[in-house]
């Protein structure tokens, strides 16, 4: 039995988005796609280049610039875990309403060259985050290292001992294991208390390793993995109970960075159809028998897409409502900005669920 043809849901919250530098051509292209997608709260990642967001003042200025593009969205801002951040800056962040601090493993993904190799030097900062209730957002991979047997396929599993160490050392620290891609990650997050949660992207609910090895627009970090990993993510969605919620990791890159010579940029662009991609993945999972039809309840969908993420970050429950209809939209071949930016979305050219605010 497939999904219903139509759902009435609370406005969605997307707790992991890349909007890029603002003002800037990509931010101006992608930020206006948030609200039409049925989303009114986003957690904004700080991995800007040539300089990541490492201070409260920079985060607040970035927020103002995003508000200048669309003032109707609630932007939860974050800092990039960096040696320049002090415990005082964390206390200032709390007062300023900054929601989290994101740790990137050095060299593992886009704009991670300022990232961390070890959490040891950050003890005072992490302790202050624990005391102040600021969230630690983890890109949960270790950098690839052929000599140590680490590749994109096991980089997340190899990070999980570090997550366990962090939970042991900082038992009250609120932690998000971002973009879980493996059954191991789901199981590990489930083993901790309610201060440790995971985000799941829309694209990892449908992609496998074969899909990105054949198409650069499906390539991201962490990379999509095996059928059993995908089943675990689908199970985490429908049996979340607040442990897992949507963070699309929508990561727009100009078409030239995906197709040009040299390394292809990691990131899948999903912002404009975030909810539709989740529902499409669920429909496909139902057809494969990966998810039991009675597990896909309106309550599970509303929790994963909206309520659980808001609750974790202390954002009020959604006031707005959206109607999502099967087949009411088509994913364009690309999104083009006024100043020449061009970004290819996930599942370009496919029929898609459409969203209407009601
Ligand atoms: C992200 C980006 O493009 O900024 N890329 C990605 O593949 N997910 C960075 C990240 O979240 O790893
Ligand atoms: Zn990301």
pLDDT digits (tens, 9 = 90+) for 115-138: 999 999 999 999 999 999 999 999
Domain for residue 208, yes or no?
Answer: yes
Compute the average pLDDT of residues 270-277: 98
Taking the C-alpha atoms of residue 178 and residue 100, their distance in angstroms, rounded to an integer, is 12
Ligand nearest to the CA of 48: 1
Residue recorded with tokens 């897992």? 244
Residue among 53, 110, 204, 253 to mutate when testing ligand 1 (max atoms within 8 A of CB): 110
Report the CATH number that the domain containing residue 249 is assigned in CATH. Answer: 3.20.20.140
Q: Which ranges of 205-254 would DSSP assign to H, the alpha helix?
A: 209-213, 227-238
Domain for residue 355, yes or no?
Answer: no
Of 87-91, 235-239, 339-343, least confident by mean pLDDT is: 339-343
Domain for residue 29, yes or no?
Answer: yes
Taking the C-alpha atoms of residue 327 and residue 338, their distance in angstroms, rounded to an integer, is 28
- Closest ligand 1 atom, residue 219 Cα: 7
Q: Which pLDDT band, with edges at 50, 70 and 90, does 109 fall under?
A: confident
Q: Which residues line ligand 1 (CB under 6 A)?
A: 18, 47, 109-111, 139, 220-221, 249, 251, 266-267
Structure confidence at residue 46 (pLDDT)? 98
User: For the chain, how many structural domains are there in total?
Assistant: 1
Task: Tell me if the bond preceding 177 is cis, omega within 30° of 0.
Answer: no
Do residues 177 and 201 make contact, with C-beta atoms less than 8 angstroms apart? no
Structure confidence at residue 261 (pLDDT)? 78
Domain for residue 338, yes or no?
Answer: no
Residue among 14, 16, 18 to mutate when testing ligand 1 (max atoms within 8 A of CB): 18
Domain for residue 354, yes or no?
Answer: no
Residues, CB-to-ion distance under 5 Å, ligand 2:
249
Look up the domain containing 294 and give its range.
12-317
- Summarised one tens digit per residue, pLDDT across range 201-219 is 999 999 999 999 989 999 9
Distance (angstroms) between ligand 1 centre and the Cα of 179 equals: 10
Distance (angstroms) between ligand 1 centre and the Cα of 293 equals: 32
Domain for residue 251, yes or no?
Answer: yes
* 323 pLDDT above the threshold of 90: yes
DSSP tag of 105: B
Distance (angstroms) between ligand 2 centre and the Cα of 251 equals: 6
Do residues 324 and 357 make contact, with C-beta atoms less than 8 angstroms apart? no
Structure confidence at residue 262 (pLDDT)? 77
Domain for residue 351, yes or no?
Answer: no
Task: Tell me if the bond preceding 275 is cis, omega within 30° of 0.
Answer: no
Among 347, 326, 345, smallest CA distance to 335 is for 345
Ligand nearest to the CA of 109: 1
Structure confidence at residue 259 (pLDDT)? 85
Structure confidence at residue 58 (pLDDT)? 98
Ligand nearest to the CA of 251: 1
- Closest ligand 1 atom, residue 111 Cα: 4
Distance (angstroms) between ligand 2 centre and the Cα of 322 equals: 25
Domain for residue 274, yes or no?
Answer: yes
Ligand nearest to the CA of 247: 2
């Amino acid at each position: 039995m497939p999904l219903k043809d139509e759902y009435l849901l609370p406005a969605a919250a997307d707790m992991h988005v890349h909007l890029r530098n603002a003002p800037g051509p990509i931010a101006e292209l992608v930020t206006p796609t948030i609200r039409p997608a049925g989303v009114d709260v986003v957690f904004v990642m700080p991995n800007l280049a040539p300089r990541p967001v490492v201070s409260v003042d920079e985060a607040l200025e970035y927020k103002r610039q995003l508000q200048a593009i669309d003032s109707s969205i609630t932007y939860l801002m974050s800092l990039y875990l960096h040696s320049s951040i002090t415990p005082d800056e964390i206390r200032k962040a709390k007062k300023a309403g900054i929601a989290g601090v994101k740790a990137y493993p050095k060299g593992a993904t886009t704009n991670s060259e300022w990232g961390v190799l070890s959490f040891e030097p950050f003890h005072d900062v992490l302790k202050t985050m624990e005391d102040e209730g600021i969230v630690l957002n983890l890109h949960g991979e270790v950098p690839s290292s052929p000599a140590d047997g680490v590749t994109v396929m096991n980089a997340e599993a190899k990070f999980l001992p570090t997550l366990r160490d962090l939970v042991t050392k900082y038992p009250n620290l609120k932690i998000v294991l971002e973009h879980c891609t493996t059954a191991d990650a789901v199981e590990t997050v489930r083993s901790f208390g309610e201060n440790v949660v995971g985000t799941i992207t829309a694209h990892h609910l449908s992609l496998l390793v074969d899909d990105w090895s054949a198409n650069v627009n499906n390539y991201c970090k962490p990379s999509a993995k095996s059928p059993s990993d995908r089943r675990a993510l689908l199970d985490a969605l429908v049996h979340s109970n607040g442990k897992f919620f949507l963070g699309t990791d929508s990561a727009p890159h100009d078409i030239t960075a995906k197709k040009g010579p040299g390394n292809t940029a990691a990131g899948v662009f999903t912002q404009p159809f975030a909810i539709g991609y989740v529902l499409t993945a669920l429909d496909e999972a139902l057809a494969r028998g990966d998810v039991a039809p009675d597990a896909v309840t309106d309550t599970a969908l509303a929790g994963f897409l909206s309520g659980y993420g808001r609750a974790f970050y202390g954002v009020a429950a959604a006031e707005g409502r959206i109607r999502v209809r099967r087949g009411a939209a088509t994913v364009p071949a690309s999104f083009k900005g006024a100043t020449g930016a061009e970004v290819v979305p996930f599942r370009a050219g496919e029929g898609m669920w459409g969203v209407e605010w009601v």
